[in-house]
Amino acid sequence: MSNITAEQKKLLQSTVATMREHGKDITTKFYATLFKEHPEFRNFFNQTNQQTGKQPAALAETVFQFVEHLDNLDVMTPQMSRLSTKHRAVTVKPEHYPVVGKYLIQSIKEYLGDKGTPEVMAAWQALYDLMSSVFIKKEKELYDQLGNDERDKGFVPFSVAKKENIAAGSTHLFTLTRQDGGKIWPFTVGQYITVRVEKDGVLHHGHYNPVEPCNGNDYSIVCREGHNDQNTIVSEELIHNRAVGSTVLVSAPAGTFGLVKDAKQHLFIAGGIGISSLMGMINELNKQGKAASATVIQCAQTEDRATFANQLRNILPKGQHTVLTKENPISKDHIQGKLQADTHVYTSGSETFLAAVENILNGAGHPRSNIHIKSIEPTLGLLKAIGRK
């Protein structure tokens, strides 16, 4: 798999410390230069994550982890798969990689200074070529899975068929139907669709998990206002400026998050809007007559912001749905009695929330293989956990 020589590996490992020290500065400079020289590339990168610094930090951490695991790149497969699905979802193509590589290598060289010899930079170029080849190969497979109709491999016009406020904090449910008469793409619960809107001359993308199992007719997604996550710009644009009958662009479902086949017990732990990432799976279990196998711990700022709480109370057996607020944050006491050795746990929310939940589950000795994480931010925490596995 790797075209990196033993000598190049040594050069990478000898200079990666500089990357670690200045990593976020390097990638921040890279993005600034890329966007200045090629403004159209703003269309592929989440601008909220750029502003918060989470995107540059996640890119730097991905590079670090790749260098540190050159002898065992299999541990990088989950992260590369997550990124590949997002790249396909926003229509990244092979021809984009050389442009990105040019400015990334240029930024690395600036920070390496005298250490950035031709041999060292050739090693970093070889690393980037390896990373991009992994992405391009995986993304081709993902595009090919969409069939032979080229329309289905990009963004397709959808109409807002229904829009309703379903919880406090301006939380809205949108129902989207395809405009061209074609069928909606099938999906497995846990996957997300990508919604594209144009604002201030830039294309913005939001990734949304349909909250109902596939019905062949439409997608139902949840948007919330006033919380800074990767969907903020798109969600607020939909809430304020997309009335029933208006048009949005949607690309085919993507992602590998979902129910574990044949699992007997499921524990869902949601933080805030993270409940929307889990509802499709809970509704699927209910559809299959397996609601009794699901337990839900739903964390929200206040009870009136606990989206779908009433629906969950109706779906789940008594005692299997708990709402926690900021006055009573989740702790190990809340999962006692809810975990068996074979319980699969699905958790979604912010990086801070996920870290807290993971600490609780680790403290309970729950197997890592039974913990499934869906972040609503760049997966920095998941990246940093690679080396701990």
Q: What is the pLDDT of residues 79-109, one digit of tens each?
A: 888 889 999 999 999 999 999 999 999 999 9
**Could you tell me the two tokens for 312?**
């969950």
So what's the pLDDT on residue 135? 92
Residue the block writes with tokens 């050159």 = 70
Coil/strand/helix, residue 195: strand
CA distance 291 to 8: 54
CATH 3.40.50.80 fits 266-388, yes or no: yes
Do 230 and 194 form a contact (C-beta atoms < 8 A)? no
Which residues are CB-contacts of 345 (< 8 A; sequence separation ≥ 6)? 266, 267, 268, 269, 339, 361, 366, 370, 371, 372
> Where do you find CATH 3.40.50.80 in the chain?
266-388
Q: How far is CA 220 from the centre of its chain?
A: 18
So what's the pLDDT on residue 16? 86
So what's the pLDDT on residue 350? 87
CA distance 116 to 379: 29
> Where do you find CATH 1.10.490.10 in the chain?
6-144
Do 163 and 249 form a contact (C-beta atoms < 8 A)? no
Q: From residue 216, how far is each of 85, 116, 143, 182, 210 by CA, in Å? A: 22, 54, 21, 10, 12
147: amino acid identity, one letter: G
CA distance 320 to 314: 11
340: amino acid identity, one letter: Q
So what's the pLDDT on residue 225? 84
As a CATH number, domain 150-254 is 2.40.30.10
CA distance 12 to 261: 40
> Where do you find CATH 2.40.30.10 in the chain?
150-254
pLDDT in 10s for each residue of the chain, 389 residues: 457 999 999 999 888 888 788 888 898 899 899 999 999 998 887 776 676 667 778 888 888 888 888 888 888 888 888 889 999 999 999 999 999 999 999 999 999 999 999 999 999 999 999 999 999 999 999 999 998 888 889 999 999 999 999 988 789 999 999 998 878 999 999 999 999 999 888 899 999 999 999 999 999 999 988 766 778 899 999 999 999 999 999 999 999 899 999 999 999 999 999 999 999 999 999 999 999 999 999 999 999 999 999 999 999 999 999 999 999 999 999 998 999 999 999 999 988 899 999 999 999 999 999 999 987 655 544 444 444 44
14: amino acid identity, one letter: S
pTM across the whole model: 0.90
Chosen CATH of 6-144 out of 1.10.3720.10, 3.40.50.300, 1.10.490.10, 3.40.50.150: 1.10.490.10
Residue 169 β-bridge partners? none
